[in-house]
Structure 1
C-alpha cells in the first residue's frame, strides 16, 4: 500500500523502487478532484465503467491506491470511486486488472478497518461525449487573492489585479481544482509578497504537469522559472499552455528529472506523491539555494511525518504545514 501512517521506511522503499526504475511520472498519478479523465474515449469505443461503492471516509484513500496501482485516471463522488478501462476480447474485465483491483479492495478494508469496499460493478460505456462532459465541469477558479485559473475555452471577467492562467490540462495534472494544487498556488502567492527577500528570485517547479505552478510563479514576479516533468505528454501539455499564456513565454519547460538539474533555486516547489518525495529528499534538498525555500505537496495528512523527517535529515529547517481537507503542504527553509 502506498499510504501508511508514520511508515517512513515503507514510503522510502516504495519510492526507491520507482526511482530506480526511472519513473516518477505524474501522468499515472492522482488526477484532479472530479476531473479525472481519459479523453481518447470516443463514440462507439468498447469501454467499461467500473464503479466501487464505499463509505465517504474511504473514497480518497481508495482513489489514490487505484490511480497509483493501475496507472489510470479515476473519478470520485461522496460514496463512490469509478474509472474506465478498455474491454479486452470477450472478457468483462481484464483478468490482470481484476486481480489487482481485488487485492487493492482487500488491503484497503484491512488497513482502514472498514466494511467497504466490498466489491464493484462493471458496465459498458459508449463514451458519447467524453470531452464535452468533463469540459462542462471545468470552470474558472479563483485561488488566493489574485490568481484565477481558467480553461482555454472559457471567457473570464477578470479584475484589474487578477493574474489569469489559461489551462488546457490534456493528459497532465494541474487545473487548480485539487487541494494539493491550490495549496501550492496559495503558498507561491505568499512567497511573492513575503518579507524574506525571495520575490524576483528563481523558481524550480518539480513535476510541472500542465505548467500551472510555473506559470503562476512567472505572473507573481519570480525571475527565472524552470518546470520539469519526466512525462513527455505532460511537457507537451505544458508547452501548449505556455502558448496560451504569452506573459509566461520566458518559463523554461523540460522533460527530465531532478537529477538532470544541477543549479540551485531560491524557491523550489514539488507537488507529487509522498513516497516519491521521500525518495527524492537528498536530490531535491540540494536544489534549494541558501537562503531558500522549499514547498512539498501531494501529501496526505497521515504521510506528513515521514516526509518531514526525510527532509529534516537533509539539513532543512521545517517552517510550517498548510492543510486543505485531507491533504497538506510542508514548507522548509535553508538559511
Structure 2
C-alpha cells in the first residue's frame, strides 16, 4: 500500500497538539523524531556510549513529525487543511517552521522504523513501560506495562502521560471504576487496571487508537477494559470513581459539564494535555461545573489537574 508522508518541523511544546490534530484529520500513523529524546537517552548509564557532544549538537532543536495518509488522498486539499490547522494551533503554541513538504512511500518503509528509539523506561518509581519486543528484568515491586504503540498516539514518553500515570498511581484504589477519555494506545487504561481498578471504559474518536488499545490489552493480559470508538456521551451514565482525560484543553472544557453525570460524589477527574497558558481557563471552567481543585502538577510546558466532583448529577 502506498502512503503519503507529510513532514512538519515544529517545537517540543507543540508536537503533542499537532500530532493529535493530524490523527483527527485522518492520518493513519504519526512518527515523531525528537532530538531531546536522544539527548535524554544519552545521559542514561551505559546508553549510547558513542554519542559524543558533536553528534548531540548536530541534532538541532527541531522536532520532526511525519504523518502518513492513504495514497489516494488529494494532496493540495490536505496540505491546505494542515496549514490552516497549524495557523490555529500557532495562536497559542509556538509551532516552529510548520509544514515542510511531502513524499510518497511504501508502508514497509516506515511502519517499524521508529522501534529502535523506543526502550523500557520508568513512568513512576514502580510503573515501568516496556516495548513488547524488548527484554527487561523487573524488580519485585515494579508493575510492568507492555506497549506496542503501532500507529496510535501515546507511548508514555510525553509529559502529559507521565503526569497522568503518576496521578493514577496516587488516586486509583482497588475496585475503582474508571473512564479513560481519549485512550490513545490504552496505556492509562492498562495502568489503571494493573493498579487495581475493577472496570475501565476506554473511548477514542480514532478507530486506529481503539484497535491498538485492544492489541495492547491482549499483550498485557488485561480483560477488564472495554474499548470502543466514540466520545464521552456515548458511554452509559453510570457512576464511576475516576475519569482520566489526557486530551487537550478545549476538549476538557467542552466535556466538563458532562463529566459530573459519570462521577460519584467525591470522585476524581484527572485532566491533562493542558498547556500552561490555558491552565487557569480550564480550572475556572471546571470550578463553575461543580468541581473542587484537589491538586495541580506541572512538567515542562504541560499541566495536569486533579478535580474532585462535589455535585454528582
Match of 1:251 in 2: 225
TM-score (norm 2): 0.76
Mapping 1:136-215, distance limit 5 Å? 136-192=116-172, 198-215=173-190
Check whether the contact 2:240–2:267 (CA below 8 A) recurs between aligned residues: yes
Mapping 1:34-53, distance limit 5 Å? 45=2, 47-53=3-9
* Structure 1 residue 95 corresponds to structure 2 residue 76: yes
Check whether the contact 1:180–1:327 (CA below 8 A) recurs between aligned residues: yes
Match of 1:280 in 2: 255
* Structure 1 residue 63 corresponds to structure 2 residue 18: yes
Post-superposition offset of 1:159? 0.7
Post-superposition offset of 1:318? 1.1
* RMSD (CA atoms): 3.2
Structure richer in strand, relative to its length: 2
Match of 1:264 in 2: 239
Post-superposition offset of 1:269? 0.8
Which of 32, 35, 46 in structure 2 is aligned with 1:75?
32
1:317 & 1:273 partners in 2: Cα distance? 20
2:163 & 2:64 partners in 1: Cα distance? 23
Post-superposition offset of 1:139? 1.5
Mark the runs of 5 or more structure 2 residues left unpaired by the alignment: 35-60
Aligned length: 281
Q: 1:209 to 1:107 in 2, by over 3 A?
A: closer
Mark the runs of 5 or more structure 1 residues left unpaired by the alignment: 1-41, 193-197
Post-superposition offset of 1:329? 0.7
* Structure 1 residue 327 corresponds to structure 2 residue 302: yes
TM-score (norm 1): 0.71
Post-superposition offset of 1:76? 4.7
Check whether the contact 1:105–1:117 (CA below 8 A) recurs between aligned residues: no
